[in-house]
Structure 1
Amino acid sequence: MLRALWLFTLAGLAEIGGGWLVWQWLREGRSLPWGLAGGLILFLYGVIPTWQQEPAFGRVYAAYGGVFIILSLLWGRVVDGWRPDRYDVAGALLALVGVAFIMWGRRWFG
């Protein structure tokens, strides 16, 4: 379970970080190397989920979506200085419950 969460976190940071670098390049006028670095990191984001032990692609990406929500809110807070409100936090917690059910619910309740 810890390995899966670690890989979700690593994938999320790669997706968000790579996307942020591309955003900086295209929307904020940064130089081309920002965009190229973002593209490379986004490529790595595509590779990282293949390291999950769960064999079902759809299940891995569905569960990852919940982790992505939490990481996106954290990124916004830490990097961009944006403050999530209570509805953002409540939604992230619901998403985390969904991650747990998708990835491990069959083991716990099945």
Structure 2
Amino acid sequence: MGMSYMGNSAQGCFTYFAGGLVHEIPDQLPEGFVYKELPEGEYIVCRIEAENFEDLVTVALNQANKYLFSTWLPRHGLTTEPFSAEKYDRSPEDMACMEIWVKPLQMET
């Protein structure tokens, strides 16, 4: 799981958090660990598949982001909160897969 948050927009920066699923959260986190929870709400999910992981996180992810943010969302009168989540998975056919999760907002007119 990865999460991107707005960072210093004047410098074109964002914060990226990479983590993993845990089934029980301990009372005391090990040193260096932080707790992040996917914010509650409605999401638009864009699923991406590629032949391998390298193509997934380079070519396919770039194309999906361009389409989602430059075409699909504007055509539906939507923008997003300055946050996204990425869920990585593998299909039964061993093809690299991931989902981009964004929280939609209506575009201001």
TM-score (normalizing by structure 1): 0.28
Structure 1 or 2: more strand by fraction: 2
TM-score (normalizing by structure 2): 0.28
Which structure's relative contact order is higher, taking Cα pairs within 8 Å and 6+ residues apart? 2
Structure 1 or 2: more helix by fraction: 1
